[in-house]
Structure 1
């Protein structure tokens, strides 16, 4: 998928919603636990119910790796289901990888070629040679952590180096890397006031914005400070959608929550058009 295809989906669905598939067997409806693959069955039901409102899906790989080979198989089935049935949606492997060059190449191959994700999240702490192997894959996107939504973000990311916040140095430096046009950036919704500063540095890039819903982030604030002419946003909600109900109506309830967010987003998107 290229940027224009993603932009077209945003315009068509009047949405920048990304649904986070952080599937936890301790939280899924109990009746699913009797099935052969409850993780996949939960994901499938959520996807089928919410795809009208979402332009992206983001499985967090930790929730699959925690269950060993069965979890990894459920992740593979989930991405295959998305690519087969809803090829228009943007897929994100929320893996937060990043290592020296040859290792990063293997990570990239696993998520882009073997599993067939459109993008993967990566941590930039090791620098250029840990990121460019991901950027070498044509038609794929690398989503780099920039300013995250967790409280510990202030430990390093906002500390000043030579008078400039570290996250700003990371953003500026990343623009010089090969194929940097394939970069997107993670910026937490709980840091919405920082989005205006980030937009000055990367005006055209897409921003993946977690933290809306259960973490308290605001759709209105994210658009106010972070949107560009093409929206340039993917706003993620995980728990607030997928765990809105623990009963047999979980998928229908998830769809209602997704629709509420999509309607909020449409108000802002109409102002951009």
Structure 2
């Protein structure tokens, strides 16, 4: 998917909501466990109930890898369902891959060509030869970890390098990579005091912002510092939407929670 299509969907829906499909068999409604594939049954119900309220879905690979072959099959079915029924939705493989050369290319083929994702999260620690293989794929996007929402982000990402931080060095160097126009960046919603500087350094790129909702991030502040002329934000919410109810009404309740966030987002478009 190209960026123009994503921006068009954002403006049409008045939403820049991304819903995280962190599907955990210990948390989904118990009645779904009777299904042959409860993970896909849960994902399908959530997608059908919320697809007009969001512009992106982000399956977290760990929640599928944890169930082995069954998990991967459920992920494959989820992606096939999304791409066949809702091709206008942007899809993110939250995989946080980070390896070099042919290995990175194989990861990219797995998620872009085989699974049909539009984008993937990538760790920048090994430098450009761990990022550029992903950027080589046409109309696919690489979402680089820049400043994450976890407490441990302060271990390395905000280390001082002269007059700037390490995460700022990552931003500046990444702009020199081949096809860097296809880069997006992960910036945690709990780090709003940094978002203005991040936007100054990468004025045109999309920011994927996790941490709104269950992790305590503030949507208003993220928008205040992070919006650009193309909106430029994908705000992710996972647990606060998909696990809003454990009952038979779980999908409808998820839609209500998504609607609340979408309505708040509409004020900023």
The TM-score bracket by the shorter chain reads over 0.9
Query: For residues 219 and 200 of structure 2, what CA distance do their matches in structure 1 show?
Result: 20
Question: What residue in structure 1 maps to residue 260 of structure 2?
Answer: 260
Within 5 Å, give how 1:67-146 maps onto structure 2: 67-146=67-146
- Residues paired across the two proteins, number: 269
Query: For residues 98 and 140 of structure 1, what CA distance do their matches in structure 2 show?
Result: 17
Gaps of 5+ in 2: none
Question: What residue in structure 1 maps to residue 222 of structure 2?
Answer: 222
Query: For residues 167 and 101 of structure 1, what CA distance do their matches in structure 2 show?
Result: 23
Question: What residue in structure 1 maps to residue 180 of structure 2?
Answer: 180
SS in 1 for 2:215: coil
Offset of residue 86 of structure 1: 0.4
Offset of residue 89 of structure 1: 0.4
Match status 1:44 vs 2:38:
no
Over the aligned positions, Cα root-mean-square deviation in angstroms equals 0.5
SS in 1 for 2:267: helix
Question: What residue in structure 2 maps to residue 153 of structure 1?
Answer: 153
Query: For residues 135 and 229 of structure 1, what CA distance do their matches in structure 2 show?
Result: 23
Query: For residues 50 and 219 of structure 1, what CA distance do their matches in structure 2 show?
Result: 19
Query: For residues 217 and 81 of structure 2, what CA distance do their matches in structure 1 show?
Result: 30
Query: For residues 22 and 220 of structure 1, what CA distance do their matches in structure 2 show?
Result: 24
SS in 2 for 1:244: coil
Query: For residues 116 and 87 of structure 1, what CA distance do their matches in structure 2 show?
Result: 10
Query: For residues 162 and 207 of structure 1, what CA distance do their matches in structure 2 show?
Result: 25
Question: What residue in structure 2 maps to residue 163 of structure 1?
Answer: 163
Q: Deviations over 1:195-241 (max 9, x none)?
A: 10001110000000000000000111110011101110000000000
Query: For residues 40 and 192 of structure 1, what CA distance do their matches in structure 2 show?
Result: 34
Query: For residues 193 and 7 of structure 2, what CA distance do their matches in structure 1 show?
Result: 24
Question: What residue in structure 1 maps to residue 21 of structure 2?
Answer: 21
Question: What residue in structure 1 maps to residue 231 of structure 2?
Answer: 231
SS in 2 for 1:268: coil
Offset of residue 102 of structure 1: 1.0
Query: For residues 5 and 91 of structure 1, what CA distance do their matches in structure 2 show?
Result: 13
SS in 2 for 1:19: strand
Q: Deviations over 1:91-139 (max 9, x none)?
A: 0000000101110000000000000000000000000000000000011
Query: Normalization by structure 2: what TM-score?
Result: 0.99
Q: Deviations over 1:160-182 (max 9, x none)?
A: 12332000000000000000000
Query: For residues 221 and 264 of structure 2, what CA distance do their matches in structure 1 show?
Result: 11
Which segments of structure 1 move beyond 4 Å, counting only runs of 4 or more? Answer: none
Query: For residues 232 and 188 of structure 1, what CA distance do their matches in structure 2 show?
Result: 14
